[in-house]
Amino acid sequence: MKKSLFYMLILLSIVFALTGCLPKTAGQEPPIPVVSIKAYLPENTPDDATIYIVGNYCDWNLDNAATSTVKTEDGQKYAEFELQVTEFPLKYKYTVGPDWKYVEKDAEGDEIGDRVIESAPEEVVIDTVASWAAIPLPPSEEPTIVNIKAYLPENTPDDATIYIVGNYCDWGNGWASGDAATSEVKKDNGKKYAEFKLEISQFPLEYKYTIGPAWDYEEVKADGSPVDNRKIDSAPEGLVEDTIEKWKDIPESQEPTEPPIEGEIRIDGDFSDWVSYDGTKKILDDPDNDSK
């Protein structure tokens, strides 16, 4: 009887072991899954940058986000992370600095959705960051001076004010704050242009031109279709030259004026004895002593 009970206990132990039903040791918790991630970075990522991975695992708080230095492998820059994730799905994004203004973007510079890992992966997760919204400069570096010359459409009024708005001045908010740079209309060999000198503290620089402080007056293509944001990925070595094909609209106060098409034509001469016709009357109101 005792032997039968002994063998039965052994058999039950084997069954529990095979089915994973062995009781847990008191106080013992299952291990927290570790997610290994390798993220390939854009070429313009500074070698001394700090890469952040922020997501629901850290309550989307950049202060608590895991970070990585920039590493290089076969000429390709990348970052590596080891995350302890207590619940899935894991949602996250990358930034190249401790601020959302440095968040990752797609290749065209547009917003992207959250990255998602549905369950604990068995292998290293490989990501590729296409571009950054902006890249912070180290505190020790001075702002970069970017000189821009923009050639203007012929119908640009001579007394117009040209604006250059972009991420350097928080886009349209730059009109209200006065941070958007402006230029008067200048001429060079009969060609109208505007010129700007910008102090830029982060790249890429994205921008557009307007002929007034509103998107109603932004630049468009020759056929009137929208223009994509202009983009300068890194500090240029020389003058940047742009050409504006057309304005979406021109503010009323800046509309070119045409000479009047109606008016009075006045005439005087010896046929009216000069004195008798003082030049203030229409030719139809001839004095009696005018000649025929």
- The structure tokens listed for 142 are 């001075």
Measure the CA–CA gap between 14 and 70, rounded to whole angstroms: 49
pTM as predicted: 0.50
Predicted pLDDT at 32: 85
Comparison of pLDDT for 23 and 228, the residue scoring more: 228
31 CB-near residues (< 8 Å, 6+ apart): none
CA distance 157 to 194: 12
Mean pLDDT taken over the chain: 85
pLDDT confidence bin for 292, thresholds 50/70/90: very low
pLDDT tops 70 at residue 9:
no
pLDDT digits (tens, 9 = 90+) for 242-282: 999 999 999 987 755 555 555 555 555 655 555 544 445 44
What is the secondary structure of 54-81 as a DSSP string? EEGGGTT-GGG-EEEE-EEETTEEEEEE
Give the mean model confidence (pLDDT) for residues 139-166. Answer: 92
pLDDT category of residue 3 using cuts at 50, 70 and 90: low
Query: In angstroms, how far is CA 259 from the centroid of its own chain?
Result: 42
For the chain, the distance separating the N- and C-terminal CA atoms, rounded to the nearest angstrom, is: 151
Contacts of 244 (CB under 8 A, 6+ apart): 150, 151, 152, 153, 209, 219
107: which residues sit within 8 A by CB, 6+ positions away? 130, 131
CB 222 within 8 A of CB 245: yes
Position 253 scores a pLDDT of 74
User: C-alpha angle with apex 287: 282 to 290, nearest 5 degrees?
Assistant: 105
Going by pLDDT thresholds of 50, 70 and 90, the confidence category of residue 137 is: confident
pLDDT in tens, 76-135: 999 999 999 999 999 999 999 999 999 999 999 899 999 999 999 999 999 999 999 988
Across the range 159-168, mean pLDDT stands at: 96
Q: How confident is the model at residue 19, as a pLDDT?
A: 47
Residues 22-50, mean pLDDT to the nearest whole number? 82
Phi, psi at residue 114, to the nearest 5°? -65, 145
Q: Domains plus CATH for the chain?
A: 34-134 (2.60.40.10), 144-254 (2.60.40)
Evaluate if residue 158 carries a pLDDT over 90: yes
